Amino acid sequence: MEKLTIVDGKFYKGGIAIPVEFGNKEQIDVLNKAAKIAEAFKKGGLAVEVDYLPETTYEATVSFQCICSKYLSFYTETDSDDVDHIFDGKEIGCKCGLRYSAKWKENQLVVLLNQKSIN
């Protein structure tokens, strides 16, 4: 079954717009989840972990969930084992129009929602 997502304040399922239904549990759950993610972005960024495969090159990825509930990831290959700082300053955009950037802050890699994209 297709997952319910929010794009530009509207519900979609499998690319089809779904009308808002008061008391619809699935819609409420999606909204609550989006609110929780949005709150983390407001409070100085969503803390993320770097996943990497230590071989001859490091394939490093950072995955997180956009407010619209789509999963996004930063990906890079490097020969350095200092993988945390590689993502510092990298940006990624979601299909829903929101843009994010990764930042190394207080010994933790966080993903920030770009302020410009909120309006």
The residues of the shown chain that bind Zn ion, judged by CB under 5 A, are 66, 68, 70, 94, 96
CB closer to Zn ion out of 96 and 112: 96
3-state secondary structure at position 92 = strand
> Minimum distance between the CB of residue 30 and Zn ion, rounded to whole angstroms?
13
> Minimum distance between the CB of residue 25 and Zn ion, rounded to whole angstroms?
22
Look at residues 50, 22, 41 and name the one whose alpha carbon lies nearest to residue 101: 41
CB closer to Zn ion out of 50 and 68: 68
3-state secondary structure at position 118 = coil
Amino acid at 60: A
